[in-house]
Amino acid sequence: MQLATILSALIFVIPAALFSLTQRTGRIWFVFGLSFAVAFVEPSPTDVLVPLVVLYVILTRRISVRPLSLLPLLFMIPLISTCLSTPNSPSLNYTLITAYLVILCTVATTLREEEREQVFSGLVWAALINGIVLIIALLLRLTGAKAAWLFFRWACFRGLYKDQNVLVTLLVPALGIAVLKTGWRWKWIRVILIGMAVVATASRGGYISVLLTGSLVLVILFRQKAMTPALALLGGLLASACIFPFWGQVILCKIGKPIQSYDYGRLSGYYQAIKWGIAHPQGKYPLRRVPTRVSRGSLKVAGIKGGCEPAVKGEFSFSFTPHNLFLEALGFHGVIGVVVILILLVVAGANIICNLPTSTKALIFLVGVLVPAMFQPPLHWRTFWLALGIALSDFGGRKSRETSEDPGSK
């Protein structure tokens, strides 16, 4: 842990201190975007930068909080109740993540255009750092190097590679940001981000759908000049809804051995249980050994009820119940998610008739890329919450009346 703290200080805390000491306050927002992305992935020593930046904002300027910015607090009600009733629940992490979103929503209402660009830059570089760490860890793992365990034990790096969906969560919006930037200094970043996205999605076939849908939105948005980000968002949502029924079957039944052999060892029992359950929907599936690292949540999404249950003679069995994967996987949070998607569609429709600044259009576009991630099993609510928090924060907002009106006209 000491090594993790030192590395975090070298990468994040020291640059923040230098920017503050040299009075380059504009660069603070770059560090904020960088640290927020890393803190969102996994609580780490970099978390201290988020409250520090919020404190800086509170002390230096007036804050006008939009009511919609506090809407993510609704998600904390069921999460807190789960934390109280079930100790060591993952809901504790989700509660912290939701708190981060509320912080982002509050701070975002105060940012100026140049400060928003700094936050965007920080998010892009955070995605680059995450991608580099993931690639190094995977190369060490595939070559059998003992040094791989060094990455696996560092607290500040643990969350950067443990779930490829986390990397995709950061890469896809960063890719959108990089493409939206037309300056020459962003062109080389596009190539790097595309390569990292390919590496991330190739390791788990299920996440290819996120990249495909995001690419579809990119093509629609940049091939057709008359296409607004709002229409691209609507097209991405409709494409995701149409793709899901058969794409889920491909993910659950047709995928062969993934690129990483250790992924296959983890999921082999999972795929076998699904194939047997489709052939014998009302039976039980005995296994001579327990399929390692198969979570109950994954089995539930697949339609396998009960998880791993001990049977006679030390065997384990799964009971398979056919059901609608999409509706079953939604659950309580899914109902809220559907309602919020409708709200986002209304916001997107309003963008067509309103003259919003470029930053807001860019973030509506990013939401269109992120939201499709929730349409595939398992539903990654961290991705959805990130998109929701950014969208509701009105990152950049409308042009202020003071700047739009001519003071000399009176």
* CA atoms of 395 and 29, how far apart (whole Å): 13
* CA atoms of 193 and 175, how far apart (whole Å): 6
**Inter-CA distances, 26 with 119, 122, 193, Å:** 10, 12, 25
Give a yes or no: residue 201 inside a domain: no
Give a yes or no: residue 79 inside a domain: yes
Answer yes or no: are the C-beta atoms of 44 and 159 closer than 8 Å: yes
Q: For residue range 35-88, list pLDDT tens digits in order.
A: 554 444 444 434 444 445 555 555 555 555 555 445 545 545 555 555 555 444
In percent, the amount of the chain with pLDDT more than 90 equals 0
Give a yes or no: residue 256 inside a domain: yes
Given 293, 325, 357, the domain boundary residue is 325
Question: What is the structure's pLDDT at 178?
Answer: 42
Give a yes or no: residue 20 inside a domain: no
DSSP 209-240: HHHHHHHHHHHHHHH-TT--HHHHHHHHHHHH
Give ∠ CA 195-174-219 in degrees, rounded to 5. Answer: 75
Instruction: For the chain, state the CA radius of gyration.
Output: 22
DSSP 57-70: HHHHS-----GGGG
Give a yes or no: residue 209 inside a domain: no
Token code pair at residue 231: 């229409």
Q: For residue range 129-166, list pLDDT tens digits in order.
A: 555 555 555 555 555 555 444 444 433 333 333 444 44
How many domains does one find in the chain? Answer: 2
Given 258, 293, 325, the domain boundary residue is 325
Q: Flag whether pLDDT at 29 surpasses 50.
A: yes
**Inter-CA distances, 184 with 144, 179, 188, 222, Å:** 39, 11, 8, 17
Question: What is the structure's pLDDT at 16?
Answer: 52
Q: Flag whether pLDDT at 212 surpasses 60.
A: no
* CA atoms of 306 and 296, how far apart (whole Å): 8
Question: What is the structure's pLDDT at 273?
Answer: 52
Domain containing residue 258: 248-325
Question: What is the structure's pLDDT at 358?
Answer: 53
The chain-wide mean pLDDT, for the chain, equals 46
Query: Of 158, 156, 192, which is closest to residue 174 (Cα–Cα)?
Result: 192
Respond yes or no on whether the N-terminal peptide bond of residue 378 is cis (omega within 30° of 0).
yes
What SS3 class is residue 396?
A: coil
Give a yes or no: residue 131 inside a domain: no
Exposure string (b/e) for 169-193, b if CB count within 10 Å is 16 or more? bbbbbbbbbbbbbeeeebeebeebb
Query: Of 245, 172, 220, 229, which is closest to residue 345 (Cα–Cα)?
Result: 229
* CA atoms of 302 and 300, how far apart (whole Å): 5
Give a yes or no: residue 100 inside a domain: yes
Check residue 304 and report its DSSP letter. E
Task: Report the range of poorest mean pLDDT among 43-52, 266-275, 339-348.
Answer: 43-52
* CA atoms of 272 and 73, how far apart (whole Å): 40
Question: What is the structure's pLDDT at 129?
Answer: 55
Question: What is the structure's pLDDT at 194?
Answer: 46
pTM for the whole thing? 0.36
Across residues 311-324, what is the average pLDDT?
Answer: 45
Answer yes or no: are the C-beta atoms of 214 and 345 closer than 8 Å: no
Given 297, 325, 353, the domain boundary residue is 325
Give a yes or no: residue 308 inside a domain: yes
What SS3 class is residue 405?
A: coil
Question: What is the structure's pLDDT at 15?
Answer: 53
Query: Of 282, 381, 293, which is closest to residue 331 (Cα–Cα)?
Result: 381
Question: What is the structure's pLDDT at 124?
Answer: 52
